[in-house]
Amino acid sequence: MSMASGGLSEGVVLAEQVTRTSTGEAVQFWVLATIAVLGALGTVFLKKAVHSALTLAATMVCLAIFYMAQGAVFLGIVQIVVYTGAIMMLFLFVLMLVGVSSADSLKETLRGQRVAAVLCGLGFGILLIAGIANASLGDFAGYGAGGVSPSGAVETDQEAVALINQGENVKGIAHLIFTRYLWAFEITSALLITAALGAMVLAHRERLTPRKTQRELSEERVRDNVNLAPLPAPGVYARHNAVDIPALLPDGSISELSVNATLRARGQVRDVSREPVHQVAELEESAEVWMEQRGDVPTARHEGEEAGPEADGTGEGAADVDPDEAGAERTDGDSVAAGAGSKESRS
Amino acid sequence: MNPANYLFLSALLFTIGAAGVLLRRNAIVVFMCVELMLNATNLAFVTFARMHGNYDGQIIAFFTMVVAAAEVVVGLSIIIAIFRSRRTASVDDANLMKW
């Protein structure tokens, strides 16, 4: 019943027979075990897969600290680097590829499957824990002097025993891997290569049709007579040039073609058609009111309209006038110039 | 505290992982629950190694990690391949071989 020197710093229990750990390790165990179990429950019960991944990472870090506390320093580091660092990040990558929003369907395809699963889990857990409680675990040997059990075949190898006795975790593991478990270690390399190749084969997508060249694309456009000219550019009247603002057609409606299809699919297109149309309408109204006050300009405008069809063609409103007309009116006063100025200041 | 508590924790985590495999439909979450079970067994191996005072358990846990890494790589690429053809990651929708 000697005390152990547990905890993170040393991690190696220097006692031949351990049935109780140090208080530090006990505190650490109860705190981190709570976090680990909560993380595991979160992995199972949280709705979003990303949250599940994060809670699982927390559980894995807790387990890594447990490994270190039990003398497996190397495994603890590998757990953090490989599991939390590599595997969980791979999970997150795949989650992003597949789509974060792919939530679980709550539809039960098998009747009563959930209840049966919960019952099975409970029964299995009770059986497992009761089995461990009933097993004659004996005393914990721990690592350290005299702690090497007679079952280990390393005793024949004096060096391994010496290393283990010194509490050299990494050296002891390296010795075992490269002597007794060398064959398994070599097989591991074959497994890893096969897994990498398999992943490449599975994730590879064969291109079934050759990629179309630019020439073929343009010939196709001409043949189909669709979008012969370049697509309209986004932006409105040089007021906006952002890609998410659609161009306005002459009638004030927006041009769907001017915005990227991806933005349209995401619903990130800003609708600005109403704003400028309203502004133009306001401008027309205010200009007409102003011209009625002046009294002389509407007559000039009527003359302009009668003079030629191009005055109608401008179509922008009272403030947008023909150059000739503007020249004629400039003699009267600065009325139209003021109107144009107000339009610019508004826009 | 008895060091055997690590074994109980390991059993508890394994049970939670197994229940998660049975309960969840999202293939990626199911996969994460499998990882949780593997981690739980690793904890048991490390505890057994401490119990017997040799490093064999730690070596087995090390190999478990290697196999788990290979398994994750292949499994996730299978999930991606299924997602590409069926546009879903739900295990219920992959039912071509259902009788």
Higher pLDDT, A194 or A323: A194
Taking a C-beta distance cutoff of 8 angstroms, is the pair B64, A63 a contact?
Answer: no
Contacts of A171 in chain B (CB under 8 A): none
Percent of chain A surpassing pLDDT 90? 28
Whether residue B54 lies inside any domain: the answer is yes
**pLDDT band (50, 70, 90) for residue A185:** very high
Closest Cβ opposite residue B58 in set A60, A95, A173: A173
Mean pLDDT for B20-27 is 90
pLDDT at A166: 64
Q: How far is A346 from chain B (nearest CA, A)?
A: 49
Summarised one tens digit per residue, pLDDT across range A141-163 is: 666 544 444 444 444 455 555 66
Q: How far is B97 from chain A (nearest CA, A)?
A: 16
Higher pLDDT, A53 or A170: A53
The nearest alpha carbon in chain B to A138 belongs to B51
Per the DSSP assignment, residues forming a β-bridge with A18 are: A140
B31–A188 C-beta distance less than 8 A: no
**pLDDT band (50, 70, 90) for residue A247:** confident
**pLDDT band (50, 70, 90) for residue A190:** very high
Whether residue B66 lies inside any domain: the answer is yes
Higher pLDDT, A135 or A238: A135
Max avg pLDDT among A29-38, A47-56, A164-173, A224-233: A29-38
- Assign residue A237 a region (left: φ > 0; alpha: ψ between -120 and 50; beta: otherwise): left
Cβ-defined contacts of A58-65 (< 8 Å, 24+): A59/A35, A59/B13, A59/B36, A59/B39, A60/A84, A60/A88, A60/B39, A62/A32, A62/A33, A62/A35, A62/A36, A63/A36, A63/B39, A63/B42, A63/B43, A65/A8, A65/A28, A65/A32
A75–B56 C-beta distance less than 8 A: no
**A87 at the B interface (CB within 8 A)?**
yes
A192–B50 C-beta distance less than 8 A: no
Residues 225-254 of A with CB under 8 A from B: none
- Residue A202 confidence (pLDDT) above 70: yes
- What count of residues does chain B have? 99
pLDDT at A341: 36
Of the listed ranges A19-28, A102-111, B88-97, the one predicted with least confidence: A102-111
Mutate to test the interface with B, among A30, A94, A105 (most CBs of B within 10 A): A94
**A205 at the B interface (CB within 8 A)?**
yes
Mean pLDDT for A189-207 is 91
B67–A44 C-beta distance less than 8 A: no
Q: What's the total number of domains in chain B?
A: 1
Mean pLDDT for A55-68 is 95
The nearest alpha carbon in chain A to B50 belongs to A142
**pLDDT band (50, 70, 90) for residue A56:** very high
Closest Cβ opposite residue A196 in set B24, B73, B84: B73
* In the block, residue with structure tokens 């610019």: A344
pLDDT at B98: 77
A141–B24 C-beta distance less than 8 A: no
Whether residue B95 lies inside any domain: the answer is no
pLDDT at A53: 93
Contacts of A21 in chain B (CB under 8 A): 1-3
pLDDT at A321: 41
Complex-level ipTM: 0.94
Structural domain harbouring B17? 4-86
Whether residue B77 lies inside any domain: the answer is yes
Percent of chain A surpassing pLDDT 70? 65
pLDDT at A159: 57
Contacts of B20 in chain A (CB under 8 A): 43-44
Query: Computed from CA positions of residues A159, A165, A171, A173, in that sequence, does the dihedral angle turn out positive or negative?
Result: positive
B11–A125 C-beta distance less than 8 A: yes
User: What is B31-77 written as a DSSP string?
Assistant: HHHHHHHHHHHHHHHHHHHHHHTSSHHHHHHHHHHHHHHHHHHHHHH
A98–B29 C-beta distance less than 8 A: no
C-alpha to C-alpha distance for A287 and A320, rounded to whole angstroms = 10
Whether residue B82 lies inside any domain: the answer is yes
- Residue A2 confidence (pLDDT) above 80: no
Higher pLDDT, A103 or B5: B5
- Give me the total of CB pairs closer than 8 Å, taking one residue from chain A and one from chain B: 260
> 3-state secondary structure string, A144-159?
CCCCCCCCCHHHHCHH
- Residue B1 confidence (pLDDT) above 90: no
pLDDT at A9: 40
CATH of the domain at B71: 1.10.287.3510
Mean pLDDT for A11-34 is 74
Of the listed ranges A11-15, A188-192, A303-307, A341-345, the one predicted with least confidence: A341-345
Q: How far is A210 from chain B (nearest CA, A)?
A: 20
- Residue A231 confidence (pLDDT) above 90: no
Percent of chain B surpassing pLDDT 70? 100
* B15 closest CA partner among A21, A185, A130, A239: A130
Summarised one tens digit per residue, pLDDT across range A108-144 is: 777 888 899 999 999 999 999 999 988 877 767 666 5
Per the DSSP assignment, residues forming a β-bridge with A26 are: none
Taking a C-beta distance cutoff of 8 angstroms, is the pair A248, A237 a contact?
Answer: yes
Burial of B4 (0-12, 13-18, 19+ CB in 10 A): middle
C-alpha to C-alpha distance for A338 and A342, rounded to whole angstroms = 6
Q: How far is A137 from chain B (nearest CA, A)?
A: 8
Taking a C-beta distance cutoff of 8 angstroms, is the pair A17, A1 a contact?
Answer: yes
Summarised one tens digit per residue, pLDDT across range B50-85 is: 888 788 899 999 999 999 999 999 999 999 988 888
Mutate to test the interface with B, among A25, A75, A84, A90 (most CBs of B within 10 A): A75
Average pLDDT, chain A: 74
Q: Copy the structure tokens of residue A210.
A: 């050759």
Would the pTM of this model clear 0.90, i.e. be above it?
A: no
C-alpha to C-alpha distance for A17 and A147, rounded to whole angstroms = 8
B54–A149 C-beta distance less than 8 A: yes
Whether residue B99 lies inside any domain: the answer is no
Whether residue B93 lies inside any domain: the answer is no
pLDDT at A328: 41
Contacts of B1 in chain A (CB under 8 A): 20-21, 25-26, 29-30
Q: How far is A268 from chain B (nearest CA, A)?
A: 23
